[in-house]
Amino acid sequence: MRTAAVASLSCLLIALGYSTTAAAPTADNPWLGQRVMNMAHSGGEDEAPMNTMYAFERADTLGADMLEIDVQLTADGDLAVIHDATVDDSTDHTGRVDSFTMEQLRAMDAAHWFVPGRSTVHDDPSAQYPLRGARSGDAEVAGHEPTDFGVPSLSDVLERFPDTPVNIEIKGSGSTQSYLDTAEVLAGQLERTQREDLIVGSFEDEALELFHELAPQIDMSAGQDAMIGYYLSGTPLPEGVVALQVPITYSGITVVNRAFVDRAHRDGYAVHAWFSGSAPDDAATYEQVIGTCVDALMPSRPSVLEEVFDELRTERPTPGGTAPRQECASDEPTDPEPTDAEPTDPEPTPSVPSPTPEPSDPAPTTPGPKPTAPAPTQPAPDEDTTPVPGTDVPREPERPAIVQTDGWVSDAPAAP
């Protein structure tokens, strides 16, 4: 009901040419200088088992600027880095996350259902699982320990990546109270941190309100209700918010376009665009979204985004911050506000050329009884880069039939 109501209201306001009011600006927002970031979503769930140390190491090595992770509360009051409220989708176990201790979660095989290019796949009898058994040691992965394929804790990730910015999403098991409980524990764990490269977000506004009350020194992204209010009517965002993390499209309406990004920047907020079923997670869409002048993209295929950045020679974050690209300067004309619900894909910026799609690589093959996958390192210039069967990831492979959505993304299928 909420999805349909918001979509209808959004269409009405756009059709009427509703003029939004300015939100309260955020002074000296450091995230406005971090353009353009590759924020590997769950470590890049189409290229590696989601929310595992293996995925995070791989993304960090290939050039990702920030890691996007999810946290759920465990039975012993710790924070597990896992997307769902249950372990069913990504591990070899079943049950609610909050029914297991952190030690039990670390022992699970979080690569059990991983299929390269398709994230987690359960119902396809032809699917290949090249990293299944890596957690137990039945499959060896060069440069990695079996523990890299279990469910890590938040402290595990922050300790392993002390110099890599991390975006932490507060999750819950469905009730508002579960989100509040996660927020309280997260605030306690970050209370004494000296890190200034963290952003905490959630779809649950009350959880963010509590988190900010307990840990006001940590930057936040806007919650779902706050974001919708800002998008529709320019409602000022809560204190502590530095970024707007939004889907590419919502109920057939393009959210991420130049006009919206420019408005957010004028109001002092960075814009981070996520996909997760709201738009194709491919090179062509990445290029279009870069053209809207966003500050970051959250891809499930971070290696593909790196290729697009290289092809476009996109300026990346540097110490001290990065000024807007020339085509993103504030005096440049912006795209007009959309006048209807079409198209569902982001509008490309004219100055950005359209890419030529590359053919997909061969599908991964079934590994041997003791497979060895390559370590996630950048090859030397003269190194043989021939893909290893079972570990190569197609550039733009077929998407799964069912796309898991989250938060305020509608139930409609992603655009083809």
pLDDT in tens, 53-86: 999 999 999 999 999 999 999 999 999 999 999 9
Residue 390 belongs to some domain of the structure: no
Annotation says 83 is catalytic: yes
Question: Residue 173 maps to which CATH number?
Answer: 3.20.20.190
Residue 62 belongs to some domain of the structure: yes
Residue 8 belongs to some domain of the structure: no
In percent, the amount of the chain with pLDDT more than 70 equals 73
- The H-assigned helical ranges of 32-173 are 53-62, 102-106, 154-160
User: Per-residue pLDDT averaged across 309-328, rounded?
Assistant: 86
- Supply 189's token pair: 């764990």
Residue 386 belongs to some domain of the structure: no
- 3-class DSSP state of 156: helix
- pLDDT, one tens digit per residue, over 6-63 is 444 444 334 333 334 444 545 689 999 888 999 999 999 999 999 999 999 999 999 9
| Stronger pLDDT, 404 or 130, i.e. the higher one | 130
Residue 61 belongs to some domain of the structure: yes
Is the peptide bond between 36 and the residue preceding it cis, with omega within 30 degrees of 0? yes
Predicted local distance difference test score (pLDDT) of residue 24: 53
Lowest mean pLDDT among 4-8, 83-87, 294-298, 356-360: 356-360
- 3-class DSSP state of 214: helix
Place of tokens 């940590």: 218
Amino acid identity, residue 95? G
Predicted local distance difference test score (pLDDT) of residue 319: 74
Query: Which one is catalytic: 41, 144, 212, 272?
Result: 41
Residue 375 belongs to some domain of the structure: no
Work out how many domains the chain is built from and give that number. 1
Residue 12 belongs to some domain of the structure: no
Query: Which one is catalytic: 83, 144, 212, 265?
Result: 83
Please say whether the dihedral angle defined by the alpha carbons of residues 43, 406, 120 and 83, taken in this order, is positive or negative. Answer: positive
Owning domain of residue 242? 26-121+128-356
- Selection from 114, 43, 40, 145 nearest residue 375 by Cα: 145
Residues 6+ apart with CB under 8 A from 92: 108, 109, 112
Annotation says 41 is catalytic: yes
Q: What is the pTM (predicted TM-score) of this model?
A: 0.78
